[in-house]
Structures are given as structure tokens and as C-alpha cells.
Amino acid sequence: EAGVAQSPRYKIIEKRQSVAFWCNPISGHATLYWYQQILGQGPKLLIQFQNNGVVDDSQLPKDRFSAERLKGVDSTLKIQPAKLEDSAVYLCASSLGLVRPTEAFFGQGTRLTVV
Amino acid sequence: DQQVKQNSPSLSVQEGRISILNCDYTNSMFDYFLWYKKYPAEGPTFLISISSIKDKNEDGRFTVFLNKSAKHLSLHIVPSQPGDSAVYFCAASDLGGNQFYFGTGTSLTVIP
């Protein structure tokens, strides 16, 4: 079974530039998550999709971050414009859970450095 | 507001001995708990879970204990192996909740 695929693995950009990350979840997984993990901290949820609908985006900085999940499969997360404090690993995860959370499977993440 | 806390940033254990990783939570509505293991440059991988109707769950060398009254869970690894060296995160969610709340992680080093 293929895992969660993310690209790119690494990205370095200057502040005020824009960047986009892509995620392909495990086939059949209805729920998709984007997490931000700052160095030394645990993953923090940015947005959660169930199929192609947003379930929770309460911690997404909507003035600069946006995400979509077209057709309920792949997802992209965009930052525009980036700030220095956005430097982090961005993790995509997916799970089967429809009624309640089940274990989520994570991709390898995209390490973003904003300089 | 950190609802899930791992107060030990690091732990070193001799190979063959027991590793005990601890996790505390503040939200009494949490009823499902998970442990994840993370190697450098990789995403977290699911290790073991426990629901609040149990106080113990075992999977091979890994056992998770849940003390609901103390809002505390622990992960026991017996015997510890060098390949267990990684960062371990605990996470929690509540019934009907939509997200996992993660702790800050404990870096385990198993010394050969």
C-alpha cells in the first residue's frame, strides 16, 4: 500500500515570496490533515478535510495560508506571503476516520526555510 | 495552550532495559490516545493507541498504560533496542473531535 506522498521535500524561499506544497493521501482515506511542526514542538493542526470539505481550519492563518482538496483526493497548501516564522516542517496526513479519528498516516513532510 | 504535555524532552536507556515515556493531558474530554514514533527527516509513524475504556494496550514490545484519574499515559518499551532511538509523540483526541493534539515529543536514545 502506497503511503502519503508529499512534495517538495525541501524548500527555501525569501520572506514575502509565495510557496505551495502538494499532498497525495493514501487511497480511500477520506480525512486529510495539514500540520505545521516548528522545531522542538509537536505537530499543530492547520486544516482538516473530510473528502473535499473543510472540517476544521480554526488554526489556519487565513490572511496568508490557504488550502484546497480538489475532488476529495490530492491537496495543496499555499503560503502567500511567507514570513520568517513560517519556517517549519509541513506534514500531510490522512486517515480512514469518518465518524471519529482513527490513526493518521503521515507523509515525510516538506521542510520550509524562509530567509 | 498545550493540552498534551511531554515533560521530558529526552531519555537515555541501555539496550535491553525498559524505556518509559510519559505524557500528561489536561482535557478530561480526551478519550483516544496514540503514540507516534519519528525518525529524523521522516514523518511520524503510528505506534500504538488506547481508548479510554481500557487502561492498558499491548503490542509486542510496546505497552501503553492509561490512568484517566491522573490524566496520564505512559509508553513502555521492553526490551529497548537501538532501533527504538527516535522522537516519540503522544497525541489525544475527544469523542466526536476532529483533530489530534500532540505533545512536544521525547527523544529516546537507546545505548548499545
B 42-81: CB under 8 A from A: 42-46, 49
Task: Give B21-53 pLDDT, tens digit per residue.
Answer: 999 999 998 989 999 999 988 899 999 999 999
Radius of gyration of chain A (CA): 13
Task: Give A23-68 pLDDT, tens digit per residue.
Answer: 999 998 988 999 999 998 999 999 999 888 998 899 999 999 999 9
Beta bridge partners of B76: B20, B63
Length of chain A: 115
Q: What does the pLDDT read at residue B69? A: 95
Q: What does the pLDDT read at residue A100? A: 59
Res. B101: pLDDT tops 70: yes
Which residues neighbour B58 within 8 Å (Cβ) at sequence distance 6 or greater?
A: none
CA distances, A58 to each of A49, A54, A61, B81 (Å): 12, 10, 8, 40
Q: HSE of A78 in the Cβ direction (CA atoms, 13 Å)?
A: 10
Mutation for A interface: B49, B98, B102, B107, most A CBs within 10 A? B98
Task: Give A5-29 pLDDT, tens digit per residue.
Answer: 999 999 999 999 999 999 999 998 9
Nine-digit cell at B100? Answer: 489530534
The distance of A29 to chain B (nearest Cα, Å) reads 15
Nine-digit cell at B45? Answer: 509513524
Interface contact flag, A42 B4, Cβ < 8 Å = yes
Nine-digit cell at B12? Answer: 537515555
Q: What does the pLDDT read at residue A80? A: 97
Q: What does the pLDDT read at residue A71? A: 83
Stretch B88-92: mean pLDDT = 96
Closest residue by Cα to residue A92 from A79, A110, A80: A110
